[in-house]
Structures are given as C-alpha cells and as structure tokens.
Structure 1
C-alpha cells in the first residue's frame, strides 16, 4: 500500500472514530449514576444496583426494573468504547507524526527519465502502472461474421449496443479496461467482456454483460455455467466479478451502468 493510500485509510479511520466518539459522548451525557453488580450462581444470573463502590450488596433488580440495569451496562460499555477510541486516535496521531514525508514508492517517481529507463522498479506510480497494464499485448478474440457492427466513441469494435454503452461509460470515468482479453479459468480459456483495472487498489475485476436472458439456452450457457466456472476459480459475484443483464423487454440503460460503476469501481 502506498503512502498516499495509507494516509487516505488513516483519515477514513479517524473520521469513523470521531463519529463513534461523538456518539459515545452524547449517550454518556444522559447516562445514569450508580454501579451494576452481576452474580451468576448455579447457572442463574442476578443483577444488583449499587449506589457507589462502598455499597457492597446493592439492591436486587426485579424484572420490571431491568431498564435501569440496561442503561448502566450501556453506560459502562460506552465508557470502554470511548477509552478505546481515544487510544486509537492517539496512536494514529503519533503514527502520522513519525511517518516520513516520502516512502519507497517515491524513489522511482523522483528519478529523471534517463535514469528510469535503466531501472526495474519495485513500485510503479499509478499512472505508469495503468499505462503498462494497458500496453500488455493480448490475443484478440477471433470473431465470426457479424452483420451488425457496433463501435465505441474511441472507435473500438464491440458486439452490442449495450457493450458500447459500458465501454463509453468506463472510458468517460477514466477506468482502464481491456475488451475480451483472454482469461484461463482452470484449463478453460474464456474471454470476459471487460477486464478492468480497479484503482488505486490495482485489483483486476471482470465484467460480463448477459444480453439475452429471455433465451433459455443462452441463460444456461452464459449465466449458470459461466458463473460456476468463475466461482470454482475463486472469482465471486460482487468480488472480482460484475454481471449486468437485460432482456428484449428490459434493456440495459446508462443509469444502471453508471450505478454499477460507482458502486463497484470507484
């Protein structure tokens, strides 16, 4: 993880912790006084309310008085959470102060171009990593004769109007992808519609669009069988695999495409 990613995660965690801290403080303002004593005897749990630490015995809590016991238990829990949050916030603050302004990822980034060409870096900056990924050659999927021809805004030929929509949306949002790049699922070679590089995590995600779900034969071949192949090779729907679908009556639309992109890829 790069220093930038670490910083983002720390800020995200700090924001989360501060929200929890604020919530704890608000709840503690309304918390009751007193202490809760719990005794477990022969499998039976009994609760006692104590005024303070000097009140050893306390008052037995009847069923109709459980609300106060719950409130005191909740108060003690909020105190524990508040203490844990403050310790973590302090640790994050200390870590941020000790974190060097530059990490090893910058060692290559700060070199002049003439020196970069001589080096195989441990870490490529995001922009160069994406460029290198896109430039990797791959075998183009052999096409059968197709009457309809569909082209994206960049002039890339795809197989359907829906794939034009997906490709254009990916390009518009700056998401790197390869169209019908081969992938081996065990011994089977498949060609996912879109192989996507999710940044900044650098995770590869596959996007399959199923365009004829009202065709039973197509459904069996492209949904059930294909999904099984992905899952058997550790690629699961929602985690490494995106599937969109349509029928002749319910076509894919750009609103759906953008919702998928924003949820899974941004």
Structure 2
C-alpha cells in the first residue's frame, strides 16, 4: 500500500474553478445592487494647503463637499471602490470561464487507460485508476476488535454492534463509499506522549480525493460517564491531527434523540462522495 502515497494529487481544478465562479457571481450581483443604490455622481479629491478637499462630480458640474457631508463622501468613496472591485471580479470570472472551456483534467489515468492491457501490465502508472485504488485500499488485511454475534447485520453481511452502525454502514454502501469496520488507529494521549490504539467505527475513503476519514458514532450521550469518555476520545483525535470535516466525522445520539439516517446521508454526501 505504500505506493499509493506516491500518487499524483487528484485534479480538482475544474471543480474549484466552478466553485470560485459561483462565489464571484454572488459577489458581482451584490456589488451591482449596491451600485444601483449608490448616490449619483463620483468623488474627486484634491489637496489644498495640506488639507484634503472633496468634490462631487455630476456630469460637468463640481460641488464642494464640506466636512459636514462625511456620510455622502463615504458613500461616494464606497461607490468607487465597489465599481473597481466589480470590474476586477468580472475579469476574474471571464478568465475562469475560459479555463473551464479549455482545460482538460489529467492525472495520468486517461493516458494509462488508453493503452492496451498487455501494455498496462508492463508499466507502473503514475496514477492508478480509481477502481484499482479502491481494490488495493480494501484489500489491506487488518485485525479489528472481535464482535460477538449480535444478530445485527449490514447490507454487506457484516456483523456490527448496534442498529446505528447498520444505518451508517448501509448509507455508505448505498453511496458507494468504501469503508473498513473498526480499523485500528493510534492516537496520542492528551496528557502524555503515550499512544493508544483505538478502533473507530468506520474508516472511510473518499474515492474522488483519495482521502481517508474516520467516522465515530457516540451512541449513549445521555449517559454521563459515556459522554465524558467520548469527549476525552475526541480530544485525543484532535491531539493526533484529526479535525472534524477534514479527516474526522462523528455523530451522536441519545435515548430520546436516536440517530437520523437523513443526517448520516447528508454528512456522507458532503465529505465522502
């Protein structure tokens, strides 16, 4: 599995460019509305006897603005700034539009798959196809915690510890998210340098980004002792470089508020698909 870490990073340029275009469009529309509401005319500043003087220009007419017109001065100054910013963002959006039309994502997979199988067998690709990556990722052998026959089975035929774990596993499976059940991880103890081996419920793979996420479910948060242990475990994750939404997902439930499968699906689609 070590060779997987040598892969070229996933090409996300188009998705990032589109995200930036969407953001720019929102700002452009906002600035246009602000300019529509701005005072008529423009602002011109001059220096006379080491004092700054402001004039409002409407057509060929110039109107001196005294210090008592500070609100109008600020509004006209903001209008100029908004207009300049609008043009900058329009230029940026235009450049990104051109990029999206002409850019062809390439991480080496297309070149690799264009070759015949007999050729592919002879070469070591720079970046292997997603399907091969997933196969390698899932083929890793590991020793998890032993699970007694709970009578609780996922859609993939795995015996798990709770109905909530069935919900999470089945949502992941339905979305095509590869996962390992109770795969061991080492975490740094907050109060010492000693490492502790933990077995999070799910270690998931985002196939598109090839990034791993740990998914912990805390199922008895209305139990005081359990909740304290959960907080301590979250602190260990943070101390070990795991951050929520970056490489860590956790869900919680109580007796009165059970796990909601819709929330599980939202989280999985947000971070793992």
Q: TM-score, normalised by structure 1?
A: 0.82
> Aligned residue for 2:164?
162
Tell me the distance in 2 between the aligned counterparts of 1:260 and 1:218.
Answer: 23
1:13 aligns with 2:20: yes
The aligned runs of 1:1-266 (5 Å cut-off) are: 1-3=9-11, 5-31=12-38, 32-37=40-45, 48-51=54-57, 58-62=64-68, 65-93=69-97, 95-96=99-100, 99=103, 104-143=108-147, 146=148, 148-186=150-188, 187-221=195-229, 223-266=230-273
Do 1:37 and 1:58's aligned partners in 2 also have CA atoms closer than 8 Å? Answer: no
Do 2:41 and 2:59's aligned partners in 1 also have CA atoms closer than 8 Å? Answer: no
- The farther-off stretch of 204-213 and 21-30 is 21-30
User: How many Å apart are 1:248 and its aligned residue?
Assistant: 2.3
- The farther-off stretch of 76-85 and 152-161 is 76-85
Tell me the distance in 1 between the aligned counterparts of 2:54 and 2:99.
Answer: 43
User: How many Å apart are 1:195 and its aligned residue?
Assistant: 0.5
Do 2:55 and 2:62's aligned partners in 1 also have CA atoms closer than 8 Å? Answer: no
Paired positions, count? 257
State the Cα RMSD in Å: 3.1
Tell me the distance in 1 between the aligned counterparts of 2:272 and 2:44.
Answer: 49
Cα offsets for 1:27-78 (capped at 9, x unmatched): 3344321205398xx9xx977343279999932131xx44422321221121
Tell me the distance in 2 between the aligned counterparts of 1:147 and 1:141.
Answer: 13
Tell me the distance in 1 between the aligned counterparts of 2:165 and 2:106.
Answer: 42
Unaligned runs of 5+ in 2: 1-8, 189-194
